[in-house]
Amino acid sequence: SCRIVAAQAVVLSDAALLFKQDVFFQGSIHFVGSDRAAKPRCVEVEGNASFHEASVTFEACGDVAVEDGGGIYVEKDLAISNSEVAFQDCWAEVGGGAFIGGAFTARASNISLLSCHGPGGGGGLFVSKNMSLDASSIRFESCSAVEGEGGGLVILNGSLSIGAGGNMSFENCSALAGGGLFMASEECHLALGGSINMSDCRATHSKGGGAVLHDLTQAETGEFNCHRCQSSLGGGGFAASGHVHLWGTSHFEDCDASDG
């Protein structure tokens, strides 16, 4: 494996920084995309990636010619702990900010994805397997998937667990379906012990203005808030195809759909 320890490093990415094995990041690193017409992704990892006690920013990485993961592509799992990680103005066809081929875990960390775009799906983040937030927050703002699902986040085939003290928020995100969040596989289950907040999200051609889900279980500590979200079909706030159990606090305000 490879270990990167940095102090206020700035990396200008004329080509993707490629790691052919597991990589561990620590310290302060700012990745900035190339000013070339065709921008590559900033980081590519052919194994697992870890951020620990790190402050990492991915800025203006990738473009629509990048297949997946404009900021970072991780072939296996991504683990973030005691860190601050930000993606801003990153692009790829799928997973504008990041593409994770395995699982995504965050503990005691803050993650933001601002103005990231993945036209084919997962405008901010695409996760292939399970995702969990432990005392962590992740924020998607002004992210989009104009020709796919999940303007902020797609979880392809796994569960999403937000523990007590965890927070996930979507603001002004849009997609064909699941303006903020899309996780519709039958294997997808959302376990909500923390909070989800969605505002001003839109599903432009289908259901789930805020989210498209399969199963949802909300614990007593869980909060689900949705404000001013819209869909062109069903579920202005969210649309679920499986079982929904709401035991905590839920608040839906000014959400709209053409048929419910």
Can you read off the two tokens belonging to residue 12?
A: 């200008």
Strand partners, 239: 212
Alpha carbon of residue 194 to chain centroid: 17
* 236 compared with 119, residue with greater pLDDT: 119
pLDDT band at 143 (very low <50, low <70, confident <90, very high): very high
* pTM (two decimals): 0.95
Closest CA to 98 of 243, 192, 79: 79
Closest CA to 113 of 67, 37, 62: 62
Any residues with CB less than 8 A from the CB of 211 and at least 6 apart, and which?
A: 170, 178, 179, 180, 181, 182, 183, 196, 198, 237, 238, 239
Q: What is the pLDDT of residue 241?
A: 84
pLDDT band at 187 (very low <50, low <70, confident <90, very high): confident
Span 80-139, pLDDT tens digits: 999 999 999 999 999 999 999 999 999 999 999 999 999 999 999 999 999 999 999 999
* 34 compared with 23, residue with greater pLDDT: 23
Q: What is the pLDDT of residue 259?
A: 58
Q: What is the pLDDT of residue 237?
A: 82
Rounded Cα gap, residues 205 and 30, in angstroms: 36
Taking the chain, what is the end-to-end CA distance rounded to the nearest angstrom?
Answer: 51
Q: What is the pLDDT of residue 246?
A: 86
Q: What is the pLDDT of residue 244?
A: 87
Q: What is the pLDDT of residue 234?
A: 66
pLDDT higher than 80, residue 260:
no
In the predicted model, what is the mean pLDDT of residues 151-165?
A: 96
Q: In this structure, are residues 171 and 141 in contact, taking their beta carbons and an 8 Å threshold?
A: yes
Q: What is the pLDDT of residue 17?
A: 94
* 149 compared with 246, residue with greater pLDDT: 149
pLDDT higher than 80, residue 33:
yes
Residue 228: how many other CB atoms lie within 10 Å = 18
pLDDT higher than 80, residue 255:
no
In the predicted model, what is the mean pLDDT of residues 206-210?
A: 86
pLDDT higher than 90, residue 7:
yes
* 193 compared with 240, residue with greater pLDDT: 193
